[in-house]
Amino acid sequence: MTFPAEVQIPTQDLFRLDGRSIFISGGAGAVGTTIGKAILESGGDAVFSDMVSSPDPDTWKSLEDTATKNGTKAWYHQLDITDAESVPKVFDDIRKELRFPFRGLVACAGISGECDACDYPIDVFRKIVDVNLTGTFLITQAVAKEMHAAEVTGSMVLIASMSGLVANKGINTAPYNASKSAIHQLTRSLAAEWGHPQNTFPGRTPGDANPNPNEERKPYPPIRVNSVSPGHIETPITGAAKQRGLVSQWEKQNMLGRISQAEEYRAPILFLLAPGSSFMTGADLRVDGGHCAW
């Protein structure tokens, strides 16, 4: 199903998200709340989700105030994105609240852990991959189903990392790096599958994943899928890294001589969510201060 180019949008509206609901996983974290506020300021309603039962009260009050000021809405739902049975149930509850269909996703949820590879506990390795990769897939799957049901176009932004492109010097985080590299490939694969019916061969190979191989696929409006690869970000959890002297080392490893702030990802992510990036899909937007170009 081909949709025409969005060429009639006024320039001042290229970053607007009016009439859209945007889902944010990892929505209680520093990046998730910062991006969510930007979405609310740009005309979009925002659904925040995270593992904690409720977000920080002061932060949530600020988000509600932002929504009121801009005529938008904000909701919070506790959600374990790795729980395949819980995700659809939470979306059943969310669907009853929305004013507008989901037209966007920002997949921020992710964890890391530092350990030498020979000593890495396999259960921790699996947890990192489960959250960062499997959880991201489950949430993209759930949001895509909502977009398909509403028959609307949409845009997804998966938070990858420069660590999916390079091995970070001096810190041993093999499972995190591998999981973020997988996000780059997941982005490309979903962008291909959800961009246009011509991108998928007719028919299906019978197997455990295809119990109905002869079922005809229905064409849907396109969903764009892109990733953002941040560099090092200053958040509340970087305190330990500062004490070890890691932050000062990170600052030397990029071209701008400092690490980033969460606010610096607002414009790149809004760009990918909004109509201004209408011909962009399957791409990675690297925002790393030049770290990978050194």
Q: At what angle do helices 266-273 and 30-41 cross, to 10 degrees?
A: 60
Task: Quote the CA–CA distance of 287 and 265 in Å, as a whole number.
Answer: 8
User: Is there a contact between 292 and 166 (Cβ–Cβ < 8 Å)?
Assistant: yes
Residues 39 and 29: their CA atoms lie apart, in Å, by 15
Can you tell me whether residue 137 is helix, strand or coil?
helix
DSSP run (H or E) holding 134: none
Q: Is the CA virtual torsion 232, 235, 241, 246 positive or negative? A: positive
Say what angle helices 30-41 and 57-70 make with each other, to 10 degrees. Answer: 10
What's the CA gap between 69 and 63, in Å, rounded? 10
DSSP conformational letter for 154: E
Structure-block tokens of residue 108: 């921020």
User: Are 28 and 50 spatial neighbours (Cβ–Cβ below 8 Å)?
Assistant: yes
Are the CB atoms for 134 and 107 separated by under 8 Å?
Answer: no
The set of catalytic residues is 176, 180
The continuous run of DSSP H or E covering 227 comes out as strand 223-230
Region of residue 292 (left: phi > 0; alpha: psi -120 to 50; beta: else): alpha
User: Which residues does 1 contact at the CB level (< 8 Å), separation at least 6?
Assistant: 196, 197, 219, 220, 221, 222
